[in-house]
Structure 1
Amino acid sequence: MQRLLTFVLAKLIGLYINILSYLAPQKATRLAYKFFSEPRDGRLLKDSLPSVLREAEAKMVTHNDFIFQTYTWKGTNDCKVLLVHGWESNASRWKLFITYLKKAGCTIIALDAPAHGLSSGTEFNIPQYAEFIDVLVRQQKPQYMVGHSLGGATALYYQSHYPDNSIEKMVIMGAPCDFNSILNNYIGLLSLNGNVFKLLNKHFLENLKIKTDEFSGSLFASKIKIKGLIAHDVNDKTVAFKEGKKIAAAWPTADFVQTKGLGHSMHDDKLYTRIYSFLFDGK
């Protein structure tokens, strides 16, 4: 019943936006972008953080008009790894993986994305997330970065747009490749018309400097020179397996790991062992 209600509500919202696109295009654009960019889940409350985050050293970092939350698990050596979560998630999604990283004695750093966890803002977009990452990378100088889902897509964008940094190796898990595939999924979910699609494209170009046809993980990956490991599950129902293959095909210094049965979350002992080996054993 809940699925049916959600489906009907999405279609009614889409119908309303479609009508507005002819009568009040600016309002239609605002609404369409709001539903596209505002996460419905992933927020945290400061007084009830998950246990894995309570174990970390928490720090809020100010960047322009935003505040983003960071977490640090101190290690015993000079190695540092940065973890970048995805859509409607937060830094606690790394709980299982952190147990593996601690074996290496490295310092582990994670952050909450814009409008996620304890970070400020109401909307998520990749360029802003990349700015947060850049501030943290320049402060902490991690050698390794691991990104999941849209966090992986942001890591690709970051490394291609901010190449002069300390990152030596990158791991990308379950990441989407083409921005248009994400946008088209949203358009389909709400049954938005072509007029709304044009309005959104205009908004992305004018406000975020994003040309949706050119905003592609494969394009970003083709510019990356460091070593990479890309993992994607054939049963991923959130981000199609072919998206990961596209990224892998464009990144000549990256290896591709195909998994089965992990879905989109990709929590798995065997995969985490493979990532550990790639980061710390050079395999």
Structure 2
Amino acid sequence: MKQRRRIYYSAAQRAEIWDRWKAGESMSSIGRRFDRESSPVFSVLSPTGGIRPPDWKRASQALSLVEREEISSGLNTRCSLRGIARMLGRSPSTISREVLRNGGPDRYRAARSDQTAWDRALRPKRCKVACRPGLARTVSNKLRRNWSPEQIACWLKRTWPGELHNQMSHEIIYRSLFIQIRGVLKKELLEHLRARRTLRRSRRATLKRNGLGRIKDAVSVSERPASVEDCEVKCHWEGDLIGGSRNSYVATLVERRSRYVMLVSLERRSTITPLIGKLSGSGVPARPGRRGF
């Protein structure tokens, strides 16, 4: 079995993916931008549930990689810690702690020390749901009863007024559901959400924005003439489309006065299919008094 080659995105590409996802683009559209399928894009979005992770930035007072390289170079030339501190304009205690926590003067390496500093800075704060198991059970039970996160948040606020430790916003509930790496609310609870999505979508994400999901050249019902209201004029037809299994489609035509029904088999639904020449099919008169579609 041939293994698929793993696709890696650069930091700039990941930033562009998140920008496009926030702007409301679909995963297929984002994948086409990089000449790839939607599955690699999903692998970028899914770990955080479609919620953009915060950008990690180095604090202004923290040691930079360039400074750590200067420390490593000074240690190799047997320069004292105070001399390195004067050269970098840092406190000697800062240089001393940096060297001691990363193996000492003989084992200090700049790149490894810098990566260790980034890893040490990752101290994720546990969310409120994780810190209060009883509150997590209450939220889970409400979700299983098909309560929305907004309803749960309002219920908690009314049940425990003034007790902030027993309240939470609906955003915390959504994040606990979508970001599964928190390990708080089970993934099966996503099925009880109204939209039943596994990723957080942007508010701008809609098919109608790009013209999809709309009827082309549609005429509003309010623009119909008044003569169609009483069904007394002959040759006024109403049409509808019925979709079946295996991409089969049938158009229904109903004469509004006589209730005469005609069924027309169509080859597809993506384009306007000509009905002329197909109307010779069998017409089935509808039951007396039956209304149109």
Q: Pick the structure with greater CA Rg.
A: 2
TM range (shorter): under 0.3
Q: Comparing both structures, which one devotes a greater share of its residues to strand?
A: 1
**TM-score, length basis structure 2:** 0.19
